[in-house]
Chain A
C-alpha cells in the first residue's frame, strides 16, 4: 500500500513538472510570427487598395530626431474616378503636396510651386504602400506579427523586413476594419526606432470632403518638363555595388538646389527606398568619411582623391559606406 502511494506521488510530481515545463512554451508559440507569406501580403494588398479607393481624411505626426511634424492627409475619388489627394504640413513653412490624377504638385516655401506627371507622391508615406507590393517581394519579406491597439482601433502589425542585412525594417500597423495605415515605424538592424509616423485621427467618409472638392476646381501649377538629356546622362563613373534590387532611376548633371554646386548625380530605387549618389570635384584632396542620420535618412560625405562623394538615402550607414567605396571610374568599353 505504501509503495503504491509513493508511486502515485512520484507520478503526480512528474506530471506537474511536465505541466510547468510546457507552460512557458505555449505563449512563445502564440507570439512567434505566422510566417505564411500570403496573409501578410494580403494585408499589404488590402492597404494598397484602401489607400487608392477610400475617401479618408486623416492626421498624422512624423516623429524623428526628437521632433514631431504634424500633417493633414486627404484622399478621395470623385464620380469620374479621378484620384484626389492632399498632404499638408501643419507647423512651420508650408510644404503641401497636391495630386489630381497623375499630376502631382509640390508647393514649398523655398521654390516656386511646380508639378510633375507621376503616379506616385514622394511624401512622408512610402509610395510603394499604395502601389503593387509584389515588386519588392524579392528583396523584402512580409511578416504578420500580431495584433495590438493603435488609435483606439484593433491593428494588425505587419513587418517589411529586408532579406539581406543591408536595409532598414518597416513596421506597419494596419486597421483591422478598413485596412488603412495607423502607424509606421522604421527600425534599424539593431531594433532601434529611427523614425515613426503615428496617425492621430482617421475619418472614412462616403463622399469627398470639401477640401478635395476645392482641389478639384483649383488649377495646379504647370507641369515641368524635365529634358531627357538631363535625365539620362552618360557619366564617367559608376557604382559597382548596391544592395540587391536597386535599379538606376536616373543619372544627370545638375546644380545643387541650395548651393548651386555642380554635381554628377545618380538616383537608385529598390521599390521602397531611394538612394542618391553624388560625385563632384572638390578643392580638398582628401577628407575622411563623415555622416549624419536625419531620422532614418543617412547623409554620407567624403573626399577621395579630390572627388567629393556623397550618398543619401534611408539606408544603414554601413550600406552607404559600402556604396560610396564601390564607386569607380567606368572602364573604357
Chain B
C-alpha cells in the first residue's frame, strides 16, 4: 500500500479530489481493500474530531450494527388479502355516503337561511337613518319602533353622561367640604396633642 493512495483518500475525504476518473478508481479500491476502507473511516473520524462534530456516543462501525439488526429482524410474510375486511369497508362507504349527502344538503340549507336573513337585515337597516348602528336583538321590528329605540338609546347615553357629571360633581364637592370642615371649630372632636402626651 503506497503512501500516495492514503494521501488520495485524505484529499477525497477533505473534498479536494481533482481528477474524476481517479476518484472513481479510488472508490472501487475502497470497496475491495479493507485497509483502505478502514483508513477512509478513520480519516472521517479524525475530521469530525477536528471540526468538533463528534456525537456523544461514537459508533465506529455503524453499518455492521445495522446489518446485525436486520439479521435479527423476524421475517414478515406477506398476509393474505382478507375478503372480510373488504366487505366491511364497502359497508362503511355505503353508510357514510347518505349521511354525507344529508350533511351537505343541511349546510346548504343553512347557508340559504343565513343568506336570506342577511338580506332582510340589510333591507331593514337601509330604511331609517340612524345615528349609530346597532345589531337588532330579536326579530325585526317595524321601522317606526326601530327609530324610537335609537332615540331612546341616544337619550340613555346623554343620561349616562349626565349621571357621570353628577357623580363627579358630588365627589369633588364632598372632598372640598371635608377639607373646609377641618377648621378650628372642630378641635373638640379631635383631641389636642397635650392630652395625648399625658396619656403616655
Residues of A at the B interface (CB closer than 8 Å) are: 45, 48-49, 52, 102, 104, 106, 110-111, 116-122, 127, 131-132, 134-135, 224, 226, 231, 247, 249-250, 254, 256-259, 261, 263, 265, 267, 269, 271, 274, 276, 278, 290, 292, 294, 297, 299, 301, 310, 312-313
A110 to B172, CA, bound (A): 11
B148 sits at the interface (CB 8 A): no
> Does the CB pair B193–A52 fall under 8 Å?
yes
A294 to B174, CA, bound (A): 12
> Does the CB pair B176–A257 fall under 8 Å?
yes
Contact of A299 among B167, B190, B192 (CB under 8 A): B167
Query: Which residues of chain B are near A310, meaning CB under 8 Å?
Result: 170
Contact of A132 among B170, B176, B183, B195 (CB under 8 A): B195
Given A45-B200, A131-B190, A132-B191, residue A267 in contact with residue B183 (CB < 8 A): no
Closest to B179 in A: A122
Closest to A81 in B: B193
B180 sits at the interface (CB 8 A): yes
Given A276-B178, A301-B170, A312-B171, residue A118 in contact with residue B183 (CB < 8 A): yes
Query: Which residues of chain B are near A254, meaning CB under 8 Å?
Result: 177
A111 to B166, CA, bound (A): 19
User: Can you list 6 pairs linking A and B with CB atoms under 8 Å apart?
Assistant: A132-B199, A224-B180, A247-B189, A276-B177, A294-B167, A297-B171
CB B168 to nearest CB in A, in angstroms, measures 7
Contact of B174 among A131, A134, A261, A313 (CB under 8 A): A313
Closest to B195 in A: A132
11 new A-B contacts, CB < 8 A, other than A45-B200, A259-B165, are A52-B193, A111-B176, A116-B183, A132-B195, A132-B199, A257-B172, A269-B181, A278-B173, A290-B163, A301-B170, A312-B170
> Does the CB pair A249–B186 fall under 8 Å?
yes
Closest to B168 in A: A258
Main secondary structure on B side of the interface with A: helix
Query: Which residues of chain B are near A263, meaning CB under 8 Å?
Result: 173
CB A119 to nearest CB in B, in angstroms, measures 6
CB A51 to nearest CB in B, in angstroms, measures 12
A265 to B174, CA, bound (A): 10
> Does the CB pair A117–B170 fall under 8 Å?
no
Residues of B at the A interface (CB closer than 8 Å) are: 163, 165-187, 189-193, 195-196, 199-200
> Does the CB pair A267–B177 fall under 8 Å?
yes
A119 to B199, CA, bound (A): 19
Query: Which residues of chain A are near B177, meaning CB under 8 Å?
Result: 250, 254, 265, 267, 276
Closest to B167 in A: A299
> Does the CB pair B179–A299 fall under 8 Å?
no
> Does the CB pair A249–B181 fall under 8 Å?
yes
> Does the CB pair A267–B178 fall under 8 Å?
yes
> Does the CB pair B190–A48 fall under 8 Å?
no
Query: Which residues of chain B are near A250, meaning CB under 8 Å?
Result: 177, 181
Closest to B192 in A: A119
Query: Which residues of chain B are near A259, meaning CB under 8 Å?
Result: 165, 169
Contact of A122 among B175, B184, B191, B195 (CB under 8 A): B175
CB B12 to nearest CB in A, in angstroms, measures 69
> Does the CB pair A261–B196 fall under 8 Å?
no
Given A45-B200, A116-B182, residue A276 in contact with residue B174 (CB < 8 A): yes
> Does the CB pair A116–B171 fall under 8 Å?
no
Interface centre among A135, A269, A278, A312 (most CB of B within 10 A): A312
Closest to B176 in A: A257
